[in-house]
Amino acid sequence: MQALTFKRGVHPPDGKALSAEQPIKVILPKENSELYYPMSQHIGAPCEPLVAVGDHVKVGQKIAESPAFMSSPIFASVSGEVVDIRPMLVPGGAMVKSIVVKNDGKMEEIEGLNQGRDYTTMSNEEILAAIKEAGVVGLGGAGFPTHVKLNPPKDTPIDHILINAAECEPYLTCDYRLMLEEPERIVKGLQIMLKLHPNAKGVIGIEMNKPKAIEAMTKACEGIDNISVQPLVTKFPQGSEKHLIYAITKREVKSGALPASAGCIVDNVDTVVAIERAICKGRPLMRRIVTVSGKGIKNPGNYKIRIGMTLRDLVDAIGGFDEANPPVKLIAGGPMMGPTLYTLDVASVKTTSGLLCFTQEEAFIPEERNCIRCGKCVDHCPMGLMPFMLNALSLKGDGEGFVKHHGLDCIECGSCSYECPAKRQLAQSIRATKKIEAGKKAAAAAAARAKAEAEAKAKAEKN
């Protein structure tokens, strides 16, 4: 089958050889270690703790939730005592209120866990509720609540459910291993999603640099009419939601719109497995696969961890840093889009897909030079923007011009900075201005809403 793709994009060296052949290893938190559960591990309203300091919690116990629809509950992944509730650092760099649980090592499970069900006998509402109650969010990186994604407005019919198995970020191999080791669970998860949208067809998009994964998934899909495997050209950012949709359906998600507007739902491989676990195994989201890689770690590989474990405990459990060549840079996620960490004392969260330990040589930051207007950023921007211009506008502080030239459509993939021969920090400056301008936009919208409400109230009082 012909490999599909999108326009422009870049080809960074993939670095996957370090961990691609390492089977997924289960890492359990050590007895007496502390696990942190930040209240916000997803897009949407933060959760509130359901437990108090001193409480005893069990594996699978819901310890935090929010009444908001756009939110996702959080579950204890070990048994033990709640020792504290305090702000803790999360991989994105923010301090977030977190529940601290001291692991008693018994892995005592809460009653009612492991009540798997047959999804074919469940109604759509029951399936969505079960997914919500299992705390499933997009595990690819964004953390969009899955029950919201699977339940788009009624006026947007869904005809494609795409499984994002591109794994276009260099170094990361967790999705790849999952496809080799548990392909039938991915297919099962996809079948559950297809039950919600019976008119849709399921497509699993995999980049051509993973022939074994394509083979394994094709085999697992055999005999299923409405699911197929689609090879994709190996190119970054092939796993961007909008670009995956374009590659497979040739539809463009309009500026500011959600994928559902193009008739598509896109979910990451690990998310689909989480759905399968939630429904068929009756287990909420408590684990995830993390790729630990880079030259600065002794044993690069793919590890199935309990969410909440600190990255320090994870690194210690797998043999630690390479003492001869210790890392100088730590990245949560992939090297193109993952934020850097200044400490390992950070909880793993639902969206932690990788931990990269870069050595001095890998972490080299070249000096920024004048823009020479070579146009490579324009030639490679997957969104069709003019990054060099947005960079200049950002440095000038011209937010208005930035918005006018579509700066808010930037997906922050970093292709521009990757290509730039002058080594300019294009993506970084654009991201900063984007934050400021998006904030202004939100504030303006809120002000307009408040004004409208005040006017309505005044009118009501008059009458």
Partner 1 sequence: MANFVVSGTPHVRSKESIQSIMRDVIIALIPATAAGIFFFGLPALILIAVSIIACVVFEWLYQTLLKKPVTISDLSAVVTGLLLAMNLPASAPIWVPIVGAAFAIIFAKQLFGGLGQNFINPALAGRAFLLASYPTEMTTWTAPVGFSGADAVTVATPLATLKTGVMPDATLQDVILGTNIGGCIGETCAIALIIGGIYLIAKHVISWKIPVIYILTVFVLTAAIGRDGLRQPVYEIFAGGLMLGAFFMATDYASSPVTPKGQVIFAIGCGIITTLIRIFGGYPEGVSYSILIMNLAVPLIERFTEPKIFGALPKVKEAKKA
Q: Can you give the binding site for partner 1, defined by CB under 8 A?
A: 7, 10, 12-13, 170, 242, 246, 252-257, 326-331, 335-343, 356, 358, 362-363, 365-366, 369-376, 378, 382-386, 388, 405-406, 409, 412, 414, 417-423, 425, 427-428, 431
Smallest distance from the beta carbon of 454 to partner 1, in angstroms? 27
Smallest distance from the beta carbon of 319 to partner 1, in angstroms? 17
Smallest distance from the beta carbon of 88 to partner 1, in angstroms? 18
Which residues, 6+ apart, have CB-to-CB distance to 87 below 8 Å? 95, 96, 97, 98
Closer Cβ to partner 1, 24 or 416, answer by number: 416
Cα 403 to Cα 73: distance, rounded to the nearest angstrom: 35
Closer Cβ to partner 1, 1 or 365, answer by number: 365
Smallest distance from the beta carbon of 387 to partner 1, in angstroms? 10
Three-state SS for 28?
Answer: coil
Closer Cβ to partner 1, 124 or 255, answer by number: 255
Cα 245 to Cα 238: distance, rounded to the nearest angstrom: 10
Closer Cβ to partner 1, 17 or 372, answer by number: 372
Closer Cβ to partner 1, 28 or 344, answer by number: 344
Cα 434 to Cα 418: distance, rounded to the nearest angstrom: 19
What is the edge-to-edge ordering of all strands in the sheet holding 56-57?
Answer: 34-38, 95-103, 80-89, 56-57
Smallest distance from the beta carbon of 250 to partner 1, in angstroms? 12
Closer Cβ to partner 1, 110 or 411, answer by number: 411
Phi, psi torsion values for 448, nearest 5 degrees: -65, -40
Report angle CA 239, 349, 82 to the nearest 5 degrees.
165
Smallest distance from the beta carbon of 87 to partner 1, in angstroms? 19
Q: Measuring CA to CA, which residue among 428, 401, 399, 397 is closest to residue 412?
A: 428
Which residues, 6+ apart, have CB-to-CB distance to 284 below 8 Å? 60, 62, 73, 75, 133, 134, 135, 278
Cα 172 to Cα 293: distance, rounded to the nearest angstrom: 8
Smallest distance from the beta carbon of 12 to partner 1, in angstroms? 5
Which residues, 6+ apart, have CB-to-CB distance to 44 below 8 Å? 66, 68, 70, 71, 72, 145, 148
Cα 273 to Cα 62: distance, rounded to the nearest angstrom: 20
A 10 A CB-CB count for 408 gives 15
Contact criterion met (CB below 8 Å) for 245 and 259: yes
Cα 369 to Cα 367: distance, rounded to the nearest angstrom: 6
**Pair of tokens at residue 29:** 């938190």
Closer Cβ to partner 1, 372 or 458, answer by number: 372
Cα 248 to Cα 204: distance, rounded to the nearest angstrom: 10
Closer Cβ to partner 1, 75 or 418, answer by number: 418
Closer Cβ to partner 1, 117 or 251, answer by number: 251
**Pair of tokens at residue 145:** 């609540």
Smallest distance from the beta carbon of 9 to partner 1, in angstroms? 11
Smallest distance from the beta carbon of 221 to partner 1, in angstroms? 30
Closer Cβ to partner 1, 10 or 187, answer by number: 10
Smallest distance from the beta carbon of 345 to partner 1, in angstroms? 10
Smallest distance from the beta carbon of 242 to partner 1, in angstroms? 7
Closer Cβ to partner 1, 26 or 324, answer by number: 324
Closer Cβ to partner 1, 282 or 326, answer by number: 326
Q: Measuring CA to CA, which residue among 305, 284, 265, 371 is closest to residue 72?
A: 284
What are the DSSP calls for 336-385, one per residue?
TTPPEES-S--B--TT--EEEEE-TTTT--PPP-------HHHHH-TT--
Smallest distance from the beta carbon of 320 to partner 1, in angstroms? 12
Cα 77 to Cα 150: distance, rounded to the nearest angstrom: 25
CA-to-CA separations, 195 to 192, 221, 271, 392, 434, in angstroms, rounded: 5, 16, 16, 49, 38
